[in-house]
Structure 1
Amino acid sequence: MRRTLRVHGRRTAATVTLALALTATAPQPARAEPGTLTEVHAELERLYHDAEVATNKYDAADEKVTEQERRVRSLRSRIEAAETRLGRLTSLAGAAARAQYRGDSLPAEMQFALSDNPERALDNASLARQAQQATQGVLTALGATRKDLGARTDEASAELKRLRASRSARDTERHSIERHIADAKELESRLEKKEVARLAALEKKEADDAQAAWVGTGILDKVGTAATPAGRKAIAFATRQLGKPYVWGAEGPDSFDCSGLTSQAWLAAGHPIPRTSEEQWRRLKHVPIEAMRPGDLVIYFADASHVALYIGDGKIIQAPRPGRWVYVSPAASMEILGVVRPDA
């Protein structure tokens, strides 16, 4: 998402016609229809930003379900391993008990009395008794472990059920995303070709101006220029995705949303990170902007609703919004919240 333009344009015949057409064909809106080209752009930015915020919520709910599914699978695997070992030791203990019942192993007192070597018989009896006690101790501990794992698995399964229900409830977010995107596309579809070109020019001008102001602070003389080996892998992955379309909720291989791209880039580099830009901002190590290096993630807007991969020379690779594709753009073309480092 790009921030709202602050360039004030003239009210043209096309945009007046647009406003009248929107008013005539749509129910009475809660907010005034955009009139000037700048207002149209601002409304588009609002719609796409709201869609991205909703996408983050949707992705976060999905990630929680995925993580809980992994936890339940892990617990069930541990239960199976405990049951296998418990069964094996129980079988061995049973075999030992049957052998003793058959007389293969006499009580220690009888072995001592009948043996030609009483000292050896005493040692054997002591070792047998210690083995039996040790086996019983392991069986008791394994039984307790199995019971604990069972209880934890039941709790985890119940939580997974709750999270799945919560994810289903997130259909409201899905509908919200689709509504915002549909409204934005409808608004864009009413623009004439020359207005679309002017919007693109205004957007580029704001991006260039913001970048020039940022570079003018001397920031690029301070930031790092060398990526770590993992950072280079993340950049290489993101570079291979250039030109692929933005699709909300997507994390490859054919399309991405903003955090889908960054999370998959760092997964390819061997560093799994949170799925959403909000969680990337919350859970990864923060670094000062002047200390960032290629491979770091740049988080945008006060609500951390957008993220991109810094590739050096003041540039980022990002998946911007619906209708766009993964591309290289100026790092300061949007409102920077901060920088995080996945491989700190």
Structure 2
Amino acid sequence: MGAGRRGLITAAVAVVCAVTVLTAPGTAFAAPDPTASPAAGSGTAPALPPNKDLEAVRRQLETLYHEAAVATDAYNAAEEKAQRQSAQIVELAKKIVKGQEKLAELKDRAGAAARAQYRGGGLPDEAHLMLSDNPQEFLDGAGRVLQGQRATKGLLGEMARTQQDLELYAKDASTQWKKLEAGRKAKAAATKKVEQRIAAAEELESRLEKEDKERLAELEEAAARQAQTTWLDSGILDDIDGSASEQGKKAVEFATAQLGKPYEWGAEGPKTFDCSGLTSQAWAHAGHPVPRTSQEQWKQLPHVAVEDMRPGDLVIYFGDASHVAMYVGDGAIVHAPRPGRTVTVAGAGSMPILGVVRPDA
């Protein structure tokens, strides 16, 4: 094996190894340490409002956790894109190795032909035939010469095409690598923002006394209950009577089986989940993969009217599609709410509904 061939194969293997390290779960981007103090600047927790106005604290926490959810979606999107790009780079690396091996084989064949001509005194086959005093040998050899010429021409053409393929693969790999690096930076920025917002929220809560924390939890429940009541009072359940599809039933079964498991941003099971990690895994379990993030689920999946939703459909929340839950029937959803919470059942109207999507429409 020549030095050039070994070098390209070594480089291709290095690409595969580097991509594997770059995209390995938890290698560079682990979930935030709950005990870590918030970074300076935008990650610092806001001051407690005068007289510890718990309703104001609740709104502050809601804002911080919402910003964390938006950043989590950005992280998940970058992670999903990185996985696709790294897979493409690996495939290109394999093609480079295969193409280089093919090119080396073609060069060996061309070299063998050149050596054979050298052993024949440097004269081409045509000259040897012309010098032959045997007419029959001349006639028989003429056909072989034509075949050899066509084979040589085909060999040279194949070598040129293989070389062009190698150049194209290398160019594509370089482009994908640049995209992967850009995605790595986006992923790192999203990670930093998530960690800052969660740390700020946890620090804000840590300043409260035990009684205040209990009262704050009551205020959060009351706000969710009021929103659900308003939603139900609209008579919406009178119109919602759809039955789940077979795949929808499987998705609901999976989602409800995760009740009580902790929320963890960027997680998609089996022990912890974030909101879109739960819904995407539920539908993957049902045999119908969906996009990883709530925003992409909203963009890519078929929309249905709220009054037409059925168990298994995904309910998208907030104007920026930063949260998603699964409808399970009777006006209820199952979802992974936020850091510090577990997968739970809640009212479908307890948060501002952006719309509903149906994976198996």
Output the TM-score relative to the length of structure 2.
0.72
Matches within 5 A, 1:291-310: 291-310=308-327
Structure 2 counterpart of 1:157, one-letter code: W
Output the CA distance in 2 between the equivalents of 1:34 and 1:131.
Answer: 91
- Mapped to 1, the partners of 2:127 and 2:358 lie a distance apart of 70
Structure 1 position 146, deviation (Å):
0.3
Deviations 1:115-167 (A, max 9, x none): 63766544333332222222221111110110111122223223323332343
Matches of residues 1-344 of structure 1 in structure 2 within 5 Å? 32-33=49-50, 38-103=55-120, 107-108=125-126, 110-111=128-129, 114=134, 116=136, 121-183=141-203, 185-186=205-206, 189-192=209-212, 195=215, 198-199=218-219, 202-203=222-223, 205-206=225-226, 208-213=228-233, 215-216=235-236, 218-221=238-241, 223=242, 225-229=243-247, 231-344=248-361
Residues 237 and 307 in structure 2, CA contact (< 8 A), matched pair in contact too: no
Q: Tell me, which stretches of 5 or more residues in structure 1 are unaligned?
A: 1-26
Q: Would you say the 8 A contact 1:44–1:187 is kept in 2?
A: no
The answer to whether the 8 Å contact 1:47/1:184 transfers is no
> 168-177 or 245-254, which moves further after superposition?
168-177
Q: Aligned pair in 2 of structure 1 residues 318, 276: CA closer, same or farther (>3 Å)?
A: same
Q: Distance in 1 between matches of 2:100 and 2:328?
A: 50
State the secondary structure of the residue aligned to 2:350: coil
SS at match of 1:260: helix
CA distance in 2, matches of 1:239, 1:115: 89
Distance 2:326 2:90 in 1: 32
Q: Which moved more, 1:28-37 or 1:85-94?
A: 28-37
State TM-score, norm by structure 1. 0.76
C-alpha offsets along residues 160-189 of structure 1, whole Å, 9 cap, x if unaligned?
Answer: 233323433445403432234314533665
Question: Is the alpha carbon distance of 1:39 and 1:332 closer, same or farther for their aligned partners in structure 2, counting shifts above 3 Å?
Answer: same
C-alpha contact (below 8 Å) 1:115/1:121 kept by paired residues = no
Task: Describe the SS at the equivalent of 2:240.
Answer: helix
Q: Which amino acid aligns with 2:266?
A: G
Distance verdict in 2 for CA 1:45–1:168, change over 3 Å = closer
Deviations 1:37-60 (A, max 9, x none): 544443433332232223223333
In the aligned structure 2, how far is the partner of 1:73 from the partner of 1:41?
47
Q: Evaluate the alpha carbon distance shift between residue 52 and residue 166 of structure 1 in structure 2; reply closer, same or farther with a 3 A threshold.
A: closer
Counterpart CA distance in 2 for 1:130 and 1:238 is 65
State the 1:244 CA deviation.
0.5
Seen in structure 2, the aligned counterparts of structure 1 residues 128 and 148 have a Cα distance that, compared at 3 Å, is same
Aligned to 1:56, the other structure's residue is in SS state helix
Kindly indicate whether the alpha-carbon contact (under 8 Å) linking 1:258 and 1:308 is maintained by their aligned counterparts in 2.
yes
> Is contact 1:55–1:177 with CA below 8 Å preserved after alignment?
no
- Runs of 4+ in structure 1 off by over 6 angstroms are none
The verdict on how the C-alpha distance between 1:47 and 1:135 changes in structure 2, with shifts beyond 3 A counting, is same
Q: Percent identity?
A: 41
Q: Which residue of 1 aligns with 2:28?
A: none
| Contact in 2 for aligned 1:234/1:265 (Cα 8 Å) | yes
Q: Unaligned regions of 5+ residues in structure 2, if any?
A: 1-43
| C-alpha distance in structure 2 between counterparts of 1:242 and 1:134, whole Å | 65
Cα distance change on mapping 1:239 and 1:131 into 2, 3 Å: farther
CA contact (8 A) 2:55 2:216 kept: no
The 2-side partners of 1:127 and 1:195 are apart by 92
Name the aligned partner's letter for residue 98 of structure 1: R
Query: SS in structure 2 opposite 1:334?
Result: coil
1:258-300 CA distance string (max 9 Å, x none): 1121223333345444332123223333333344444332211
Quote the Cα distance in structure 1 between the aligned partners of 2:120 and 2:235. Answer: 90
